[in-house]
Amino acid sequence: MPVNEDLRRERARATFDVKQLTHMLDGGSDRTARRRQLQAIIERDPTGIFSNDDNAYLHRTDRHVRGLAKHVRMVELCRTLGIGDKYDGQVVMDPDFPVLLAALADDLPTALHWIMFVPNIVSLCDEEQQRAWLPLCRDWKMIGCYAQTELGHGSNVRALETTATFVSEDQDGTKGGSFVINSPTITSAKFWPGTLGRTANHAMVIARLIDGHGKDQGMHNFLVPLRSMKDHKLLPGVKSGDIGPKIGYNVMDNGFAQFDNVKIPRRNMAMRFAHVDERGRYSKKSVSAAASKISYITMMQVRAHICNEAGKNLAVACTIVTRYSALRRQGYASDGESELQILDYKQQQHRVFPLIAASYCFFFTGKRVMEQLKDIEDKLVSNKSISKAAVTDIHASSSALKSFTTTVAADGIEDCRKACGGHGFLQCSGLPELITTYLQSPTVEGDNQMLPQQVVKVLLKLVQTVQDDGDLSDYVSCDSYGLISSLQSNLKGVKEDCRIVSEIDVMNLDALLAALCHRSARLLVGVASQIQGSISSGKSYQEAWNDALVEMARVSRAYSQFLLLRNFMEGIDGEERSGAIGVAEVTVLQNLARLFALYWMEKELGDFLEDGYVTADHSRWVRSAVLQLLDCIRTDAVSLVDARDFSDFKLKSALGRYDGDVYPAILKAALRDPLNHSDPGPGYEQHLKRLIAGGTGTYKATVSRL
């Protein structure tokens, strides 16, 4: 296909090999090839069911139904292709499955079944339960969701109100005991679970277990049938439905459910770690350390995945805005005749290029956290010891990273949308649905505003250990280890010198990392002493903690930036050592790493100036280095987004097309709107005509008077 001349020229001048970065991002050239093969299956599917062309024009109901159709087609394709998790006693994940799903470039209403429901069975149910349920899940006879949050209760699990009460033998003669599920109040209605509304026939319900002695045994999981597997009708006592339209993610039927004396068999309680016998006696089960940590590791994996997804979603937005800005022209060049490429404006570069840098940065961190988790898992399985510090530390870093990367991605995608000017407001730009659907990420899996407390809670223990000259050996392999010497200096009041001594040093990645490390340590020590100070001045611990929340957010952000830069630098080194990329690729990635660090330093310069770590000279250097890096990256900008290798099918954007043929695509999209399917448009005959042509219309108006 003929490609827009501007884009062709941009691509011709790349300083690096685009293919190499693509392979690096995919994890090898073989994975790239397989991904493309799977994409082709979706994009060229002869049923046409996977087309996204009409998405923006469908009523929500039709969009959801279309999602169900896609699901069924997907399952059939997987069966034909032999793709899918294998189960024989143990679940083996099929790496092709997520690739195929990603190729859809659309959401499926069934997503929570395999994201949450099946993993929950795997981690919390005993072997007999798994043998009974997993084959039904694999065959999509049982479609499940994970029902934790309630209308009045979000992340505070302790406050959940749904109850599961043991009853030993019932009027109907059920033997072996049962649980009765109840929603005692309006606020206890299960609310938000994805797939619950209209799709799932089962829910893994988190409820307060009341045992046979009437004793509250806290929260446990119960498999509750919602709908008949014969006709998909709601079962007696279950009131459930969709929670209504949202700002985005509307293919998904997030749902609500209220339970009125719904009786389930005793063995529907997830019994891997706890047990209730036929007489209603509750007991905990002793399990291996590995088993008990598995659900925790799963949660951490979800966070690493979120970090990686933040990078990917941001990269989609960057691809659209970068290509469009390369061909869109506005304002005159010095010759007074030709219009300038938007991509040549410094404020556009300053807006977009740091986001390209962030999208690569998040890739390396996602990969690294996954490797760390794999390492912990391997150790657990082989019964090697893991320090408590290592486990809490990865909790802190994953909390910080989840919060920071999803904030940057959500703000960044929206900024890319704005950076497309008016046309970014159009659904056909692909950006509106991208951002509105992504907007869930800052809120789910730990609200970004709440996570900093978890980060600081863990890091304060490190501060305490350093302060007490305690044993630090546990921290050697931890993410926060790099902070220790900075913490020591800060606690002892020893001034740390900035390693940027002359203007040239400002491009030195090690010096930048040291600056980010210093800032994290300083702010962390600051929070510790703020809390101490508040308590000394007579405030309760809770008040002191509350007063420090604003600062905790700063600490968490600073700590994330430190981790992200370090992982970026080490990631580049690793890829270079493994031979995955060459000198040219290393150079361009290092410039992105520099821009990542310097952009955030520039933005939050006060944090570095406040204690004199950097000076007015440094500030000038930082700003000037940012401008220099923008110039460097300008050359490769289009190729850097091309390297993500997103197909046009995936981008769904008239503005981000590979061939740059933007304007006909916009007009073509406009004509699809049902508003344009008649002339005059709908509403004229019934309404407008009444005024314009003096017709009478069809509705009777009664007039109020003042």
- Interface with a copy of itself, residue 244, by CB under 8 A: yes
Build a one-symbol-per-residue string for 58-97: x at contacts with a copy of itself by CB under 8 A, - elsewhere: -xxx--xx-xxx-xxx-xxx--xx----------------
Distance (Å, whole) CA 489 – CA 500: 18
Phi-psi domain of 369 (left: phi exceeds 0; alpha: psi -120 through 50; beta: other): alpha
Q: Which residue of 3, 20, 31, 49 would you call a contact of a copy of itself, by CB under 8 A?
A: 49
Distance (Å, whole) CA 402 – CA 303: 6
Q: Which residue of 11, 31, 36, 246 would you call a contact of a copy of itself, by CB under 8 A?
A: 246
Q: Give CA separation, 54 vs 148, 382, 672, 673, in Å.
A: 34, 51, 8, 9
Of 271-279, 317-325, 396-404, 600-608, the segment contacting a copy of itself by CB under 8 A is: 600-608
Residue 281 CB, nearest distance to a copy of itself (Å)?
28
Residue 251 CB, nearest distance to a copy of itself (Å)?
11
- Interface with a copy of itself, residue 611, by CB under 8 A: yes
Q: Please work out the total of residues on this chain that contact a copy of itself, with binding judged by CB under 8 A.
A: 159
Partners of 122 in the beta sheet? Answer: none
The single-letter DSSP state of residue 114 is: I
Chain residues 417-446 in contact with a copy of itself, contact rule CB under 8 A:
417-419, 421-422, 424-428, 431-432, 435-436, 439-440, 442-444
Q: Which residue has the tokens 């800005």?
A: 325
- Interface with a copy of itself, residue 53, by CB under 8 A: no
- Interface with a copy of itself, residue 31, by CB under 8 A: no
Nearer Cβ to a copy of itself, position 68 or 115?
Answer: 68
- Interface with a copy of itself, residue 693, by CB under 8 A: yes
What is the three-class DSSP state of 133? helix
Report whether 218 belongs to an annotated binding site.
no
Residue 321 CB, nearest distance to a copy of itself (Å)?
12
Residue 212 CB, nearest distance to a copy of itself (Å)?
27
User: How many Cα atoms are found within 13 Å in the side-chain-facing hemisphere of 215?
Assistant: 8
Q: Is 498 in contact with 621 (CB distance < 8 Å)?
A: no
Residue 410 CB, nearest distance to a copy of itself (Å)?
9
Choose, from 445, 496, 575, 585, the residue flagged as catalytic. Answer: 445
Of 260-268, 465-473, 492-500, 662-670, the segment contacting a copy of itself by CB under 8 A is: 662-670
Q: Which residue of 216, 470, 540, 582 would you call a contact of a copy of itself, by CB under 8 A?
A: 540
Q: Is 284 in contact with 272 (CB distance < 8 Å)?
A: no
Chain residues 665-684 in contact with a copy of itself, contact rule CB under 8 A:
666-667, 669-676, 679-684
- Interface with a copy of itself, residue 236, by CB under 8 A: no
Of 119-127, 271-279, 303-311, 659-667, the segment contacting a copy of itself by CB under 8 A is: 659-667
Partners of 427 in the beta sheet? Answer: none
Residue 266 CB, nearest distance to a copy of itself (Å)?
25
What is the three-class DSSP state of 85? coil
Nearer Cβ to a copy of itself, position 243 or 472?
Answer: 243
Q: Which residue of 35, 190, 227, 518 would you call a contact of a copy of itself, by CB under 8 A?
A: 227
- Interface with a copy of itself, residue 553, by CB under 8 A: yes
Distance (Å, whole) CA 429 – CA 416: 11
Residue 467 CB, nearest distance to a copy of itself (Å)?
21
- Interface with a copy of itself, residue 141, by CB under 8 A: yes
Partners of 276 in the beta sheet? Answer: 282
Of 127-135, 482-490, 560-568, 688-696, the segment contacting a copy of itself by CB under 8 A is: 688-696
Residue 345 CB, nearest distance to a copy of itself (Å)?
6
Nearer Cβ to a copy of itself, position 477 or 635?
Answer: 635
End-to-end CA distance of the chain: 65
Structure tokens at 31: 């994975």
Catalytic (active site) residue 445? yes
Distance (Å, whole) CA 267 – CA 285: 15
Name the burial class of residue 487, with classes exposed (0-12), middle (13-18) and buried (19+) by CB atoms within 10 angstroms of its CB.
buried
Cα 89 to its chain centre, rounded Å, is 30
Helix 289-327 crosses helix 616-642 at what angle (to 10 degrees)? 90
Residue 580 CB, nearest distance to a copy of itself (Å)?
26
Q: Which residue of 156, 283, 288, 536 would you call a contact of a copy of itself, by CB under 8 A?
A: 156
Q: Give CA separation, 464 vs 24, 488, 491, 589, in Å.
A: 40, 11, 10, 37
Build a one-symbol-per-residue string for 331-370: x at contacts with a copy of itself by CB under 8 A, - elsewhere: xxxx----x----xxxxx-xx-------------------
Of 189-197, 282-290, 462-470, 517-525, the segment contacting a copy of itself by CB under 8 A is: 189-197
Distance (Å, whole) CA 268 – CA 223: 5
Contacts of 389 (CB under 8 A, 6+ apart): 474, 475, 478
What is the three-class DSSP state of 433? helix
- Interface with a copy of itself, residue 664, by CB under 8 A: yes
Phi-psi domain of 2 (left: phi exceeds 0; alpha: psi -120 through 50; beta: other): beta
Give kind and range of the element (H or E) at residue 180.
Answer: strand 178-182
- Interface with a copy of itself, residue 697, by CB under 8 A: yes
Nearest to 462 by CA among 387, 378, 373: 387
Nearest to 602 by CA among 515, 508, 517, 523: 515
Distance (Å, whole) CA 69 – CA 80: 17
Distance (Å, whole) CA 494 – CA 219: 48
Chain residues 501-520 in contact with a copy of itself, contact rule CB under 8 A:
none
Build a one-symbol-per-residue string for 291-330: x at contacts with a copy of itself by CB under 8 A, - elsewhere: ---------------------------------------x
Any idea which residues carry the catalytic annotation?
445
